[in-house]
A and B are shown apart, each in its own frame.
Chain A
Amino acid sequence: MNEQASFNMQVLDALLLDYATGALSLPLEVLVETHLAMNEDSAKTMNMLMKLGGVLLEDSDPVSLSEGALENVLKAIEQDEEQQPHNSKRKIDTDSALLPRPIADYLPDRNNSSWRRIGIGLFECDVVFGNDQGRAKFYRISPGTAIPSHTHTGTEVTLVLQGGFTDETGNYGPGDIAVQEEGGEHKPVADNDGECMVFAVNHGDIRLTGPIGRVLNLLVN
């Protein structure tokens, strides 16, 4: 395994662990969830991490719930006993129908005006995740297109949604994650066998935890 591949694997495991514990920012969470739907090995690892969570939960020391908690909950379940669980509807359009659900919900149709042409055979589209959630973009690259060499300002995690590309570090196909470190420079070329579409998240430090959690974490540590 070359150095980049082993680096990619390390980042991937760290991301999977962060996903399992719920520590990822929203864009990375979506990225990892999509990856999980496309990669069997990672799916297995995630199952293991969820099991691990179950073990740790089960073995935690209990902290009493408030008095009347059970009555409270029983009352709530009695109230909704007549309700049926609803099946969520999937939206279907040309592109997103082919993709796993987590990412499909964010992908605009290819005719949508949010797609911008930024070079020959290269289109990008910003994905809005609300405030302070980091930067995320979709890219569409025509078959065989070479992207001019570029550097990255922050660490960038890229998930291949369809097609593939090759750069100095290797070849990446559907479901693969490539990681570009801050300051890293590369020159990807889309594979010839079809349009390449990727989802790229600029890896910030922003996390989902609310302000109260953050402050308490600081105090505790």
Chain B
Amino acid sequence: MRIFDPHIHMTSRTTDDYQRMYAAGVRAITEPAFWLGQPRTNVGSFVDYFDGLLGWERFRAAQFGIRHHCTIALNPKEANDPRCHGVLEVLPRYLAKDGVVAVGEVGFDSMTDDEEKVFLRQLELAGEHDLPVLVHTPHRDKAAGTRRTLELVAASGLPPERVLVDHLNETTVGMVADSGCWMGFSIYPDTKMDEHRMVRILADRGLERMIVNSAADWGHSDPLKTVKTGRAMLAEGFSADDVDTVLWQNPVEFYGQSGRLLLDEVDLAGTGGRAATFEGNSILRGQRPDPAEA
């Protein structure tokens, strides 16, 4: 099983997770920029975070044989803090970079006017930078938030096939299917959506435009939920090709619209290997290769 996890927040995870993910077949991921739990209070905090997604985290993932991409945006929750609105000014510099495969996560949290204004501006930026969009749907009042999301996407003029609407469930999947947008499902332990419900949705609706992710972050979550969904699909009679469609080909097709995926094999023996250093820092603490003896 080869897996592309299209939504996972690796800055919140450990190297043990990277090892387990690689062992289970994860070879590529996309890490959306999002809320860090602790609210940020100035633009500089975002800039350093974006630099980390593009720099250190990509390097760290490569140490474990996993290709790391990211999406960049001002997330819905922090769109409500005027101290963070300056992030919109710096986004164009980041949206031009290699490895940035979409604008995201954008969308609604509490359906405020500020959220809508920031969402609309970022839909425009996606058009200007020829990037797909990853849209977060709210955890509260999800159906209304998803409906409003689809109205704004339709009004933006962006082609629906360049928009992935995430965190769906049985009550919201239908309207997104009808819109022509991609349908994303975050599979969590205990809450929201699990792998068995996911398999039923796939059995009912087919595999086209279907995306499955772990959305693992700093909360109770599981970076192997993609793998577990693949196993649940096999147990219910889906073929290995079907699993590959959902867990690899679909996310590659969606993010591939950016033209910026980095999917060449990670070279563990070469310069991207375990002995490499990032800006002088290596994850092999205390075992840094000695340049004088190299």
A and B bind: no
B interface residues with partner A (beta carbon < 8 Å): none
